[in-house]
Chains A and B, each alone.
Chain A
Amino acid sequence: MSGRLTAENFHLWYGENHALKGISLTVPEREVFALIGPSGCGKSTFLRSLNRMTDLVEGVKRKGRILLDGQDIYLPGIDVTRLRKRVGMVFQKPSPFPMSIYDNVAYGPRIHGVKARSQLDGLVEASLRAAALWGEVSDRLKKPALGLSGGQQQRLCIARALAVQPEVLLMDEPTSALDPLSTGKIEELILSLRSRYTVVIVTHNLGQAVKVSDQAAFFLDGTLVEWGPAPELFGMPKDRRTEDYITGRRSLDG
């Protein structure tokens, strides 16, 4: 149990659309792994394959394996709810439930059977602290979560994901709907999470990828062009296409 993810020649189709074409990579434990690439390149689909959220799409097919600590997450006997407990997710748009701040964070633990009030209290406080939100909301835990600002809502969603004590945290463009100040706070938060969680983050913001990631992968048209330690990928990419994307050259459109 450490949160090491490996994809082995992973393919995925939405109906006829071949969205992922043989992805193979390893996400080391307790590091931040950034997935970058232009819109529609498959990076979000790959992220959503890691906790089987792609199962929700009708007509989806796949081939290949994704291993969490060596175990194939797509084996028939796998309990998807337990997988998602181990692999948490934060979405692009802050999505607090229409309930109190406390109940939002306690939602996951309650689902997974935590009933004791003291235990819930502890989890809620620890998760809000880990998401750097405790100081701002500790006096209004019973207030509706929708009353928080956008940046606070997103940190609440991170706290909510942390409350089920996952090993991996998937983040799908977590700051694209936020202002620069909130974005900065979330980026700091991501760096602080690295010591305890494996983080896989999809981002359109290259500066953000450089700032927070240890490893990075560049996707293009459903293929994985290259991946490796972030300083290398951003500093001296091996592939021409990666370099074009990072430097903003237009050849990708052609």
Chain B
Amino acid sequence: MVKNILRSRGNLSRAERSRKFWDSFMYWCFSLCGLSAIAAVCGIAAYMVLAGTPAINEIGLFHFLLGSRWEPTAPQPAFGVLPMILTSVAGTALSVLASVLVGTLTAVFLEELAPNRLRQAAQATAALMAGLPSVVYGLVGATLLVPLVGKAENALFRGSSSHIFTGGANLLSASILLTVMILPTAIQVGGISLRAVPRELREASLALGADRTETAFKVLIPAARPGIVTGAVLGTGRAMGEAMAVMMVSGNAVNFPLPFHSVRFLTTGIVTEMGYSSGLHRKALFSIGLALFVWILATDLILEALVQREGGGQSA
């Protein structure tokens, strides 16, 4: 027996050799694909650091991150991005919280209460909306949402002499628009994670005399929480990276983030000025890119760790 095996290793048949060749060939193909993805990420990271650090060195990390004036073309230029950072944080946090809340409740309604046909229609709509290009959202936001928010602003601040009127292009509009943009994903991910909850849990709760609402809030949503957090991660990525739609409704002035302030996000900061900047100004835009990159990375890692811990708690 052992002898046979030893011998057969020495003289492989043609077919066997060909199989072996294809197996190792495909192995290298897959490895190459995987490595190139990693290489791309590392390359981008390295480039961001190389391109982003010179301006920060020149301006000073403190002045760059915590400076509140962004006046790149003034005689005495100032490169403080704190207002943009805070705007991105506020806009993202608001829209992710709102869309996860609304999305989860919508998913509960669709999965647990809605009739079959309505659920299917809503799921198809959500899938469609998740795929719409952001400029379409921007257009709808600029023509429908901004005027509405503008009216609210006019009513709220009527007669105020200190308020700078935005005509509706402000943080509130941007956050609402971002919420709408993330919502389809939140609904989809919420639905998937609710459907993944074992049927036994739902039945056990109902069999104890709980109604469908109690079952949803006390058993299903807690059981689906890791999935819902994943949805929040996806939403955060989209909200932070979004530039086009946000630029069309946010007013684009560098201000601290209050609902009725025109604001500029980190992303829109780059887009707006890339065309005409030069010298230190241009380098500073790359530094904004670096700040955005680091921040997205950090948020991802934190949320990822949160998911891991949730998952660990489940199985422990």
Tell me, yes or no, whether A114 is within 8 Å of chain B by CB.
no
Return chain B residues, CB-CB under 8 Å to A58: 116
Return chain B residues, CB-CB under 8 Å to A56: 203, 206
Tell me, yes or no, whether B205 is within 8 Å of chain A by CB.
yes
How many chain B residues touch A (CB < 8 A): the figure is 22
* B198 touching A97, Cβ below 8 Å: no
Q: Which residue of B lies closest to A79 (CB)?
A: B209
Tell me, yes or no, whether B208 is within 8 Å of chain A by CB.
yes
* CB contact under 8 A between A97 and B209, given known A58-B116, A111-B214, A146-B315: no
**In the complex, which residues 84-121 of chain A have their Cβ closer than 8 Å to any Cβ of chain B?**
84-85, 88-89, 91, 93, 95, 97-99, 107-108, 111-112
* B206 touching A84, Cβ below 8 Å: yes
Tell me, yes or no, whether B16 is within 8 Å of chain A by CB.
no
Encode contact with A along B197-213: 1 for CB under 8 Å, 0 otherwise. 01011011111111100
Stretch at the interface among B46-54, B124-132, B216-224: B216-224
Encode contact with A along B291-316: 1 for CB under 8 Å, 0 otherwise. 00000000000000000000001111
Return chain A residues, CB-CB under 8 Å to B208: 84-85, 88, 107-108, 111, 160-161, 164
Question: How far is B207's CA from A51's CA once the two chains are assembled, in angstroms?
Answer: 8
Q: What's the nearest-Cβ distance from chain B to residue A84, in Å?
A: 4
Tell me, yes or no, whether A140 is within 8 Å of chain B by CB.
no
Return chain B residues, CB-CB under 8 Å to A97: 201, 204-205, 219, 222-223
- For chain A, the bracket of interface size reads 20 to 34
Contact of B218 among A81, A82, A107 (CB under 8 A): A107
* B223 touching A91, Cβ below 8 Å: no
Q: What's the nearest-Cβ distance from chain A to residue B252, in Å?
A: 46
* A88 touching B207, Cβ below 8 Å: yes
Question: How far is B198's CA from A58's CA once the two chains are assembled, in angstroms?
Answer: 18
* A98 touching B209, Cβ below 8 Å: no
Q: Which residue of B lies closest to A82 (CB)?
A: B209
Contact of B207 among A89, A93, A99, A146 (CB under 8 A): A89
* B209 touching A81, Cβ below 8 Å: yes
Return chain B residues, CB-CB under 8 Å to A85: 208-209
* A53 touching B206, Cβ below 8 Å: yes
* CB contact under 8 A between A95 and B209, given known A58-B116, A146-B314, A146-B315: no
* CB contact under 8 A between A108 and B209, given known A144-B316, A146-B316: yes
Return chain B residues, CB-CB under 8 Å to A81: 209-211
Tell me, yes or no, whether A123 is within 8 Å of chain B by CB.
no
Tell me, yes or no, whether A231 is within 8 Å of chain B by CB.
no
Tell me, yes or no, whether A147 is within 8 Å of chain B by CB.
yes
Return chain B residues, CB-CB under 8 Å to A147: 316
Tell me, yes or no, whether A157 is within 8 Å of chain B by CB.
yes
Q: Which of B198, B209, B218, B314 has the most CB of A within 10 A?
A: B209
Q: What's the nearest-Cβ distance from chain A to residue B195, in Å?
A: 15
* A91 touching B200, Cβ below 8 Å: yes
Contact of A107 among B200, B205, B211 (CB under 8 A): B205
**In the complex, which residues 45-64 of chain A have their Cβ closer than 8 Å to any Cβ of chain B?**
51, 53, 56, 58
Q: What's the nearest-Cβ distance from chain A to residue B219, in Å?
A: 5
* B200 touching A93, Cβ below 8 Å: yes
Q: What's the nearest-Cβ distance from chain A to residue B97, in Å?
A: 23
Q: Which of B205, B207, B211 has the most CB of A within 10 A?
A: B207
* CB contact under 8 A between A95 and B204, given known A111-B210, A144-B316: yes
Q: What's the nearest-Cβ distance from chain A to residue B274, in Å?
A: 48
Q: Which of B218, B223, B314 has the most CB of A within 10 A?
A: B218
Q: What's the nearest-Cβ distance from chain A to residue B203, in Å?
A: 6
**In the complex, which residues 35-64 of chain B have their Cβ closer than 8 Å to any Cβ of chain A?**
none
* A84 touching B315, Cβ below 8 Å: no
Q: List 7 A-B contacts (CB under 8 A).
A: A56-B206, A81-B210, A82-B209, A84-B208, A88-B207, A108-B210, A144-B313
A97-B222, A98-B201 given; 18 more Cβ-contact pairs under 8 Å: A81-B209, A81-B211, A83-B209, A84-B207, A85-B209, A88-B207, A89-B204, A91-B204, A93-B200, A95-B198, A98-B222, A98-B314, A111-B209, A112-B209, A144-B313, A146-B315, A147-B316, A161-B208
Q: Which 9 A-B pairs have the closest CB atoms?
A: A95-B200, A89-B207, A85-B209, A108-B208, A84-B209, A81-B209, A95-B204, A111-B210, A98-B223
